[in-house]
Structure 1
Amino acid sequence: MRAKIFSPYWLPVWFFGGTILIGAFILHLDVSHPGGPLSFVDALFTTTSAMCVTGLAVVDTGSYFSTLGLDVLLVLIQLGGLGIMTFTTLIIHLLGKHVSLNDRIAVGQSLLRDPSFSLPKFLARVVLWTFFFEGAGALALWLMDPVGFSPYSAVFHSISAFCNAGFSLYPDSLTRWAGHGGVNSVFMVLITAGGLGFYVLIECAAYCKQIVHRLIHKKRTMPVLSWHSTIVLKTSFFLVVVGAVVIFFAEGAAGNAPENFWHHLWTALFQSVTCRTAGFNTVDIGSMTNVSLVFMMLLMIIGGSPGSCAGGIKTTTFRALFGFVWAQFRGRQQVQLGRYALSQGALNTVVSLTTMTFVLIFIGTMILTALESGDSTYLMAREEFILNMFETVSAFGTVGLSTGLTPMLDDVEKITVIILMFVGRLGPVWLLSALQSWQAERRYKVPTSTLPFG
């Protein structure tokens, strides 16, 4: 039993849970919140949101917490952003070549394809690239607006952006910089880099280095990115562009768009990037159209890429699911993504992950709806349903965007959101793998049959 409790799949659960509780006790101290009283549930909600790099907040972060409280949040954000990736890499390394394809996808990386993979070197590069992006981002923000971004504020927002946390020191998030191309660009680069995955970032850096080397030495052959990185980059680009186009025209048609074209374009592009799990916003989310909110929920469910700071079902799962549906339309037996086809085990994992995600979102939405407006008719509470669903998806996808519902939640609703954030950060497949590690495998099979499906 002890071996099962402390198995590799359960270590992240204890690490995240223990760190969240320690942070909650510190944040609950009066010295951490001179801005007013803070219940333990609110402290637990805030530390869970920080550790799970979500960004949902029940109080105004910048004005409510002291420097100590903000430092606690900053440490939790940094640990949360790197925690899952670090454990992922460590577990893959420890499991070695005996790990199954199902488990590879569950932990979210493809590092075993590289026979020269070295865990110490990889983690050192992760730390180096993390500090590089966060330092460069903080410096850029401070130089662009020294008044709006003091040195501490610039560092806080840079770390929060790269870790896809979405915590801001300003009550209106980043709305005052909605039309500022430079600030928008810095945040989008940080969010995208943190959401691509460290394996992809490191490979892209090596790829660029090889291209420069070949150009200098006038070599005609060009390096090729791995299958995993190619899928991640193409899918991420596709989602950002489609999301920006939908939001641009949906808000424009409803008359919510700024009069300046470039201002409108920046807001649409920023919201498309941030709702992939960052949580910052440059417009009032509660004033956006239903078309934008629904499409943003879809992007939040997809999230970032494997091995990154982001949540969601991941871009690779979405691409595999889309490839599966497209293969069915074309009557193909294999699901081909680029130069490879997916195995049946990989498809089973994709279906399991997607199904579990929608089941958990459905349960969370029903709980919030029942608690918020369970005794109201549809006509009385029809607007609340989409708000509850948006809050649920945002929590599960560890995004942090809200239509304004978060501060109005009661303790039971906050605990529901806490569970959603925790499960969403670990990942439903990770949780499923952890539960399966406790089960004994069947040593027999039952007869098979078919059912009508049409």
Structure 2
Amino acid sequence: MQKKFSSPFWLPVYAFGLTILAGSSALMLDVCHPGKDLSFINALFTATSAVCVTGLAVVDTGSFYSRAGQDVILALIQLGGLGIMTYASLVMYLLRHKVSASDRLSVSQTLLHDPSFNLANFIVGVIIAVFSIEIVGAVLLNSLDPVGFNFYSAFFHSVSAFCNAGFSLYPDSLTRWQGNLGVNIVFAVLIIMGGLGFYVLAECARKIRMLVLKKKRPVQAHFFTWHTKIVLETTFYLIFFGTLVLLFAEKVGDENWNDFLQMGLSSFFQSVTCRTAGFNTVDISSMTNVSLIFMISLMVIGGSPGSCAGGLKTTTLRVWIGFIVARLRGRSQTRVGWYAMTEDSINKALTLLVFGVLIMGGSVILLSITEGHGLPHPQARGHFIELLFETVSAFATVGLSTGVTPTLSGAGKIIIILLMFVGRLGPVWLLSAINSWQSEPRFRLPQDDLPLG
């Protein structure tokens, strides 16, 4: 039994769980919210949302928590964004302790899905790069609006944006900067960088340095590796088409096209942030059903592997598309870019889809029970899409809400907490952790076909 729970796949579960409990305990201290009552369930909700870099909040972060409370939330966001195991391994490395094979496997699975990389060099590089990006982002925000973003506020929002957390010190998030091009661009760039994945960022940095220094490019068939090309390409198309769909979904039937450019900027920002970051420059509850449904689709997709982002990931989307196209063309191989996918990758992508749908579907049903209060359909119109939006936002660790979060019951908050936790770790990770307990049968059953479809 001890061996089962000491599997490397369970280490991130323990790390995230213990950090959430520690964060909840810290937030319960009176110094974090002097003179205000905070229930343990609300502290647990906030800590889970911060560690899982989601951004859903039951109380206003800027007005309810003191600077000490905001510091705790900021620390939890940073820990959750990079992964607890990364920090633990970094500490062991700096203290000249030998990093165990299980820690190496956990970090590699979390960040690069490549157990062969050099752990020490990679972690040091990641920490330096991430803090550099966050400091640059804070300086830019502070210079663009020194009043709205004093340096603490600028750094808090920069960390929250890069870690794709979506926590804001303002009750209306970023709506007051809806038309500010500079602020929108800084946030969008931070969010996109945080959602690309550390491997992609490192490769892009190498290519940019090579171009700036005009170094001779080594002989290779393509400028970017296959993984980086797929991630950058998919990210671009999702942002581009997301902007167009959200723009026209909000403008259809609206005869006032004078603010077209501002709406275009808002649509671009929401297309970027709704895939995982959770900031908003428009009131989500006032958006059309078409926009909400499309945003739900973008939230499910999320960011890219090895990043701060949640969701089922951009590469998984490409495998789904490749699988469907291959079946429509009657081909046995699923092609994504330059290569055909292995059977194991296809099975993992389909497993992600099935488990994601089951988890989100089951959670919507449970929330309909806990939050529906037994209301008949005519009285509960519109409530379903709000609960669906909340469910997907929690599972994909996005953090956007139509306003449901503060009104959740105790049972509803527990459901959302579990969704955020599972969504941050990933359903395939948890399935792998459970499968690590099992052993493959030493026999095979006879095979046959059933009529399908």
Whether 2:157 is the aligned partner of 1:181: answer no
* 2:181 and 2:265 in contact (8 A); partners too: yes
Distance 1:256 1:160, change over 3 A: farther
> SS state of the match for residue 382, structure 2?
helix
* 1:78 and 1:163 in contact (8 A); partners too: yes
Paired residue for 1:323?
Answer: 322
Paired residue for 1:7?
Answer: 7
The amino acid that maps onto 1:162 is F
Post-superposition shift, 1:68?
A: 0.8
Paired residue for 2:96?
Answer: none
Paired residue for 1:120?
Answer: 120
Paired residue for 1:310?
Answer: 309
TM-score by length of 1: 0.93
Distance 1:271 1:417, change over 3 A: same
> SS state of the match for residue 184, structure 1?
helix
Correspondence list, 1:37-186, <5 A: 37-83=37-83, 86=86, 94=101, 109-111=112-114, 117-186=117-186
Post-superposition shift, 1:400?
A: 0.2
> SS state of the match for residue 311, structure 2?
coil
Post-superposition shift, 1:403?
A: 0.2
Paired residue for 2:413?
Answer: 414
Paired residue for 1:285?
Answer: 284
Distance 1:15 1:84, change over 3 A: closer
The amino acid that maps onto 2:154 is A
> For each residue in 1:210-261, what CA deviation from the matched residue of structure 2 results, as whole angstroms up to 9, or x when unmatched?
2334x46699988621111111110111111111110000001143987422
Matched residues in 2 for 1:399 and 1:390: separation? 10
* 2:86 and 2:107 in contact (8 A); partners too: no
Matched residues in 2 for 1:405 and 1:412: separation? 14
Distance 1:256 1:317, change over 3 A: farther
* 2:23 and 2:76 in contact (8 A); partners too: yes
Matched residues in 1 for 2:24 and 2:84: separation? 20
* 1:251 and 1:257 in contact (8 A); partners too: no
Matched residues in 2 for 1:337 and 1:58: separation? 41
> For each residue in 1:414-447, what CA deviation from the matched residue of structure 2 results, as whole angstroms up to 9, or x when unmatched?
0110000000000000000000001122111111
> SS state of the match for residue 307, structure 1?
coil
* 1:35 and 1:64 in contact (8 A); partners too: no
Post-superposition shift, 1:295?
A: 0.6
> For each residue in 1:65-119, what CA deviation from the matched residue of structure 2 results, as whole angstroms up to 9, or x when unmatched?
01110000000000000006839999x994799x9xxx9997573535xx6x311
The amino acid that maps onto 2:407 is M
Paired residue for 2:369?
Answer: 370
Matched residues in 2 for 1:261 and 1:306: separation? 34
Distance 1:127 1:367, change over 3 A: same
> SS state of the match for residue 10, structure 1?
helix
Matched residues in 1 for 2:443 and 2:289: separation? 50
Paired residue for 2:93?
Answer: none
> SS state of the match for residue 111, structure 1?
coil
Post-superposition shift, 1:34?
A: 2.4
* 2:197 and 2:307 in contact (8 A); partners too: yes
Matched residues in 2 for 1:406 and 1:20: separation? 19
> SS state of the match for residue 9, structure 1?
helix
Distance 1:140 1:105, change over 3 A: closer
> For each residue in 1:10-42, what CA deviation from the matched residue of structure 2 results, as whole angstroms up to 9, or x when unmatched?
000011000101110110122111262110000
Distance 1:388 1:361, change over 3 A: same
* 2:59 and 2:406 in contact (8 A); partners too: yes
Paired residue for 1:34?
Answer: 34
Paired residue for 1:19?
Answer: 19
Matched residues in 2 for 1:368 and 1:451: separation? 36
Distance 1:231 1:257, change over 3 A: farther
Paired residue for 2:94?
Answer: none
Matched residues in 2 for 1:133 and 1:334: separation? 40
> For each residue in 1:40-80, what CA deviation from the matched residue of structure 2 results, as whole angstroms up to 9, or x when unmatched?
00000000000000000001100000111000000000000
* 1:35 and 1:63 in contact (8 A); partners too: no
Whether 2:402 is the aligned partner of 1:399: answer no
Distance 1:437 1:248, change over 3 A: same
Matched residues in 1 for 2:10 and 2:329: separation? 41
* 2:395 and 2:422 in contact (8 A); partners too: yes
> For each residue in 1:337-362, what CA deviation from the matched residue of structure 2 results, as whole angstroms up to 9, or x when unmatched?
11111011111111111100010000
* 2:386 and 2:404 in contact (8 A); partners too: yes
> For each residue in 1:130-160, what CA deviation from the matched residue of structure 2 results, as whole angstroms up to 9, or x when unmatched?
0111001000000000000011000000000
Query: In the comparison of the two structures, how many residue pairs are matched?
Result: 445
Matched residues in 2 for 1:269 and 1:77: separation? 25
* 1:88 and 1:107 in contact (8 A); partners too: no
Distance 1:89 1:291, change over 3 A: farther
Matched residues in 2 for 1:35 and 1:275: separation? 35
- Residues 251-260 or 147-156, more deviating: 251-260
* 1:198 and 1:308 in contact (8 A); partners too: yes
Supply the RMSD in Å over aligned alpha carbons.
2.5
Post-superposition shift, 1:280?
A: 0.2
> For each residue in 1:384-413, what CA deviation from the matched residue of structure 2 results, as whole angstroms up to 9, or x when unmatched?
000000000000000000000000001110
Matched residues in 2 for 1:417 and 1:257: separation? 39
Paired residue for 1:224?
Answer: 223
Matched residues in 1 for 2:324 and 2:343: separation? 14
Distance 1:172 1:89, change over 3 A: same
Post-superposition shift, 1:301?
A: 0.5
* 2:55 and 2:397 in contact (8 A); partners too: yes
* 1:303 and 1:310 in contact (8 A); partners too: yes
Post-superposition shift, 1:318?
A: 0.7
Give % identity. 53
Whether 2:264 is the aligned partner of 1:265: answer yes
Matched residues in 2 for 1:344 and 1:9: separation? 22
